[in-house]
Amino acid sequence: MTDQSPTAAHFEARLRRIGDERYHDKHPFHHLLHSGGCTMDQVQAWVINRYYYQSRIPMKDAAFLSRLDDPKMRRIWRSRIEDHDGTDTHEGGIARWLRLAEGVGLDPEYVSSGVGILPATRFAVDAYVRFVRDEPLLPAVASSLTELFAPKIHKDRIAGLLQHYDFANPETTAYFQHRLTEAPKDVAFGLKWVLDNAITQADQDAAANALIFKTEVLWAQLDALWSAYVEPGRIPPGAWQPGEGQA
């Protein structure tokens, strides 16, 4: 925590508590994945579905950017889009995710087509894009603050994948390695902005509720994955069937 008023410190602690209680690092699917317990079908299902989240992140950031009238804030925020889409000289997160897809045996064209995404994943991710597009700026920024809690899960994931799965190597885990520097940069700006702009109790409640909403967007995706591909293994009509989309 930085130098701040007691009210801001109290509010920041409230936001961090939401992560302690609700972030998706506590979901059993992540425990299964990071401890080496996933079958390759389950890993592939995760890579396919999580790609949909990845692919929508720069779209939600573009929607957010279009609402900003401050050029300084637009300049800061647009780096998030470049982190995912890349630039002429730097590869972005989407390309890195597709290398992970290839590494686990999937056809990257199948993965990027969006075919076979679980319905609940699509609904949750689309709800996040709409939330950021339509809600006031304060909750829109606050909803990105789950990234406060992401570096720990990315570190756990890199270590867990490297230890337990043959497909894991510096190339296939590069996506997570890059997020270790990208996410803290984003969140340093986002957290300060939220703390500076959430003045009233109603503002703070709106920001906290936005963060809770986002933890639910993440949790719902893993619940969907679990029910389709772990237990009871009920794959919804139209969703990916193991064996489809192979490289």
Ligand X SMILES: O=C(O)c1cc(C(=O)O)c2c(n1)C(=O)C(=O)c1cc(C(=O)O)[nH]c1-2
Residue 74: C-alpha distances to residues 4, 25, 71, 197, 237 (Å):
25, 30, 5, 17, 41
State the alpha helices, DSSP H only, in the chain: 6-22, 28-34, 40-65, 71-85, 93-103, 108-113, 119-134, 137-142, 150-164, 174-197, 201-229
Q: Which stretch binds ligand X (CB under 6 A): 33-41, 119-127, 146-154, 232-240?
A: 146-154
- Provide the mask over 151-190, with x wherever binding to ligand X is found by CB under 6 A and - wherever it is not: --xx------------------------x-----------
| Smaller CB separation from ligand X, 38 or 218 | 218
Site for ligand X in 188-247 (CB under 6 A): 218
Q: Which stretch binds ligand X (CB under 6 A): 33-41, 139-147, 163-171, 235-243?
A: 139-147
The amino acid present at 98, given as its one-letter code, is: L
Evaluate whether 64 touches 132 at the Cβ level (below 8 Å): yes
Evaluate whether 83 touches 69 at the Cβ level (below 8 Å): no
| Smaller CB separation from ligand X, 184 or 235 | 184
- Interface residue with ligand X among 55, 121, 146, 172 (CB under 6 A) is 146
Cβ 171 to ligand X, closest distance in Å?
Answer: 17
Q: What is the DSSP-derived secondary structure letter of residue 148?
A: G
Cβ 72 to ligand X, closest distance in Å?
Answer: 19
Rounded to whole angstroms, the Cα distance separating 180 from 182 reads: 6
Rounded to whole angstroms, the Cα distance separating 96 from 220 reads: 24
- Interface residue with ligand X among 49, 55, 121, 144 (CB under 6 A) is 144
- Interface residue with ligand X among 125, 150, 168, 208 (CB under 6 A) is 150
Cβ 237 to ligand X, closest distance in Å?
Answer: 28
Cβ 146 to ligand X, closest distance in Å?
Answer: 3
Rounded to whole angstroms, the Cα distance separating 35 from 237 reads: 30
Closest C-alpha to 44, from 167, 213, 137, 150 = 167
| Smaller CB separation from ligand X, 106 or 145 | 145
Cβ 57 to ligand X, closest distance in Å?
Answer: 5
| Residues engaged in binding ligand X (CB under 6 A) | 57, 144, 146-147, 150, 153-154, 179, 218
